[in-house]
Amino acid sequence: MEKNEIRAVIKYLCLKKISSKGIHSDLVETLGDSAPSYSTVARWAKEFKLGRTSTEDEHREGRPSTSLIEDNVKKVEDVVLADRRLTIRQVAEVTGISYGSVQRILANELHMKKVSARWVPRMLTDDQKKNRVDISRVNLEKFQEVKKIFCSVL
């Protein structure tokens, strides 16, 4: 169950004048290990008894993310494409962006991961896939031509 659904159940049971312990027991009986803790149930029951009607989380002000702006993504992309062997720490030093932000930009924005000490896109294009298949076929044909020689060397 999602959080809002559980909160709606808590709200309903509060309207029926069931205690927090009773609500928690009912949720544990029904949901088992995925039931919220007693303190969570008690907190939400208290909120609903005080007149809260919404089961949604309150909007919280927070510091906006400044690392995922387009300029920073472009900086990281340019540095990585210039030298794919750089580590995240080196990219962070060159760009002046924090290690975690560089890591997030590489993984989530540029969809890259480290393969054999190089940054590469996660997904191959259709041309790259076709090229790999063609190269594999050529190598297989070469192997089959010299199979006896190859196997006798071992």
What is the separation, in whole angstroms, between the first and last Cα of the chain? 59
On whether residue 144 sits in a domain, the answer given is yes
On whether residue 54 sits in a domain, the answer given is no
Total domain count, the chain: 3
Q: Is 78 exposed, middle or buried (0-12, 13-18, 19+ CB in 10 A)?
A: exposed
Query: Which residue range(s) make up the domain with 42?
Result: 3-49
Cα separation of 106 and 111, whole Å? 6
Q: Which two tokens stand for residue 120?
A: 């590469």
Q: Is the pLDDT of residue 154 over 60?
A: no
- pLDDT over 70 percentage in the chain: 88
On whether residue 74 sits in a domain, the answer given is yes
Give, in order, the Cα–Cα distances in Å from 62 to each of 55, 65, 104, 122.
21, 9, 19, 32
Do 88 and 102 have their domain in common? yes
Segment 58-76 shows an average pLDDT of: 80
On whether residue 107 sits in a domain, the answer given is yes
pTM exceeding 0.85: no
Output the CA angle 91-94-97, nearest 5 degrees: 70
